[in-house]
Amino acid sequence: MSGGRAPVLVLSSWWPRESNPHATPFIVDHAAALAVAAGDVECWSIEPGLRTLPDRPLAANLPIVRKRVKLPWRAILSPAGPRALFLAGVVAGRRLRVRPALIMAQALEHAGPYAAGLATSCGAALAYLEHWSGVAQGTITPAQRSALRLVLDRSDVVLAAGGFLGRAIEQAGDLDPESVVRMDNPVDLRLFRPGPPPTTQGTVIVQVADFRPAKGHDLFADALLAARPDVERHQVRFVLVGDGPERARIERRLADAGLGPLVHFTGKLSRAEVAQAIRDADWTLLTSETENLPCAAIESLAIGRPVAAPQVGGIPEVVEAADGVLFERTAEGLADTLRRIGSGSVVGLRPWHERATAAAKRYGAEAVANRYASVLPLARAEA
């Protein structure tokens, strides 16, 4: 870190990488919003392990400094791993020539304990922003729970992507109720800009999700089988965006059931292509087991499209009655929703442009930057 004005350091191990440039875009979006609020941001990629990986981290318009933590993975993943990462951060903090205005750890994994050590060593305030569904689902390992406690104990400000995750963090860390600050995921309004719905015949429903069990593609297949006569009669078509280990099996299942003509699989798309796929659809669908603050739903609302999603996790915080349908997460609950969408019997939805305007006011980068600006003084006051 060079001399001069003290920047805000943003640390994460979740940056998009050259091999997967469209992964975890919310990490970059938050860093960009924080840059608007703070004026000067330096991004660090915390990379444990003994070997330097050629797969470089990426963040458009935000240069990233790779910070190696030369510890074997066996040590990192052990119960003592969080402490080892903390001590590595302490050592790094002693080498800083300029004390940061604030250190922000985005997502607990690896970066959290390192950031806590860095902040402790150099005397900077620490803000911790969590996105990880594992914390809310209670699926974190004992070592990860130890890391969570370590980071929470040393954080001046704790933030979470949504109230649902915030409450889970409070419970896991024995924090006071409502002590975790909600920080909405920003949406890039240059990409996910508003636009009128398509005028083609029938209804197009898009789903943007990796093909892994937690995203619920089997639930979609079950519901489509149940609603098939009505879906075909109302000319409902589906576009599934994404890739992953479950894709080939889901494709085979739908093809074997004769549902292939109703569903188009796009594979992995760039963010601009994802935005266009949402813009070309009438509705966006989620079928996840749980979500904290789903980016796909926020991006859909910003464009102006309503959302159909299960009533789980933090989804009800995003999808209001005027902006879509919340259904019971069962095959019949989703099948009934598909029938209603296809027949046009969903009532009470606001016009697309009002939906987009409301989403921009809440999730636009400027709105999230203003939220950061109101939170950062809390951290700096205790630095």
- For residue range 84-113, list pLDDT tens digits in order: 999 999 999 999 988 898 999 999 989 999
Q: Is 141 left (phi over 0), alpha (psi -120 to 50) or beta?
A: beta
**What residues does 33 pair with on adjacent strands?**
none
Average pLDDT over residues 260-266: 97
Phi, psi of 205 (to 5 degrees): -120, 125
% the chain with pLDDT above 90: 81
The pLDDT value recorded for residue 381 is 41
Average pLDDT over residues 25-51: 91
CA distance 82 to 195: 46
Which residues have C-beta within 8 Å of that of residue 161, sequence separation ≥ 6? Answer: 26, 129, 130, 131, 183, 184, 185, 292, 293, 314
Helix (H, G, I), strand (E, B) or coil at 41: strand
Phi, psi of 305 (to 5 degrees): -95, 140
The owner of tokens 């965006």 is 241
Position 164 pLDDT exceeds 80:
yes
CA distance 116 to 132: 18
102 DSSP assignment = E
Average pLDDT over residues 362-383: 77
CA distance 160 to 128: 8
Position 383 pLDDT exceeds 90:
no
| Dihedral of the alpha carbons of 338, 344, 348, 351, in degrees to the nearest 10 | 110
pLDDT one-digit tens code per residue, 169-181: 999 999 999 999 9
Output Rg (C-alpha) for the chain, integer angstroms: 22
Arithmetic mean of pLDDT over the chain? 93
Helix (H, G, I), strand (E, B) or coil at 121: helix
Taking a C-beta distance cutoff of 8 angstroms, is the pair 9, 121 a contact? Answer: no
Coarse DSSP helix, strand, coil percentages of the chain, rounded to the nearest 5 percent:
45, 20, 35
CA distance 150 to 153: 5
pLDDT one-digit tens code per residue, 209-233: 999 999 999 999 999 999 999 999 9
The pLDDT value recorded for residue 39 is 82
Inter-residue long-range contacts of 176-181, CB under 8 Å, 24+ positions, other chains counted: 181/157, 181/375
% the chain with pLDDT above 70: 97
Taking a C-beta distance cutoff of 8 angstroms, is the pair 272, 296 a contact? Answer: no
Helix (H, G, I), strand (E, B) or coil at 178: coil
The owner of tokens 């994994």 is 109
**What residues does 169 pair with on adjacent strands?**
none
Average pLDDT over residues 261-270: 96
The pLDDT value recorded for residue 377 is 58
Position 1 pLDDT exceeds 80:
no
Q: In what order do the strands lie in the sheet with 203-208?
A: 263-267, 236-241, 203-208, 283-285, 307-310, 324-327
How far does the chain reach from its first CA to its final CA, in angstroms? Answer: 19
Position 191 pLDDT exceeds 90:
yes
Phi, psi of 140 (to 5 degrees): -75, 150
362, containing H or E segment: helix 352-363
Position 29 pLDDT exceeds 80:
yes
Average pLDDT over residues 190-203: 94
pLDDT one-digit tens code per residue, 306-324: 999 999 999 999 999 999 9
Position 379 pLDDT exceeds 70:
no
Which range is least confidently modeled, 59-68, 332-341, 361-370?
59-68
Confidence of residue 5 (pLDDT cuts 50, 70, 90): low
CA distance 8 to 5: 10
Alpha helices in 138-246 (DSSP H): 142-154, 163-172, 217-233
CA distance 263 to 242: 13
Position 193 pLDDT exceeds 50:
yes
Q: What domains appear along the chain, each with residue ranges and CATH number?
A: 8-186+364-380 (3.40.50.2000), 203-362 (3.40.50.2000)
The owner of tokens 């954080």 is 155
Instruction: Count the neighbouring beta carbons within 10 Å of the beta carbon of residue 258.
Output: 10
| Dihedral of the alpha carbons of 31, 33, 36, 42, in degrees to the nearest 10 | 0
The pLDDT value recorded for residue 61 is 81
